[in-house]
Amino acid sequence: MLTRINRRLQFFRSDLTITKIRPGHWNVERNGVTYHIEGGRAAGGSSRDWFVDGFGGKAIWTSSLVESLKLIDNA
């Protein structure tokens, strides 16, 4: 699946449904599981602080929105 993020095309193996909730917050659905991504300056952190929640434990730190989506795609 090709998705345009920050004016660049990114390829993901899985069919991800990406929904922007508000600035700095996204919900991503993959195979019936919903993940929550938040981060960046819009969420009150630095541009390289992103967190993925939905793996059953603590939120996982990543360095960008694209890295967060790659983490979900490879799960």
Q: What is the pLDDT of residue 60?
A: 93
Report residue 70 CA to chain centroid gap. Answer: 8
**What mean pLDDT do residues 17-30 have?**
92
The 3-state DSSP class for residue 3 equals strand
Contact 32, 18 (CB under 8 A): no
Q: Are residues 25 and 31 in contact, defined by beta-carbon separation less than 8 angstroms?
A: no
pLDDT tens sequence across 37-63: 999 888 888 889 999 998 888 899 999
Q: What is the pLDDT of residue 50?
A: 94
Strands (E) across the chain are located at 2-5, 8-11, 17-22, 25-30, 33-39, 50-53, 60-62
pLDDT at 14: 83
Domain count, the chain: 1
Using 50, 70 and 90 to split pLDDT, how confident is the model at 12?
confident
Give the range of the structural domain holding residue 11, as residue numbers without chain letter.
Answer: 2-73
Residue 15's DSSP bridge partners are: none
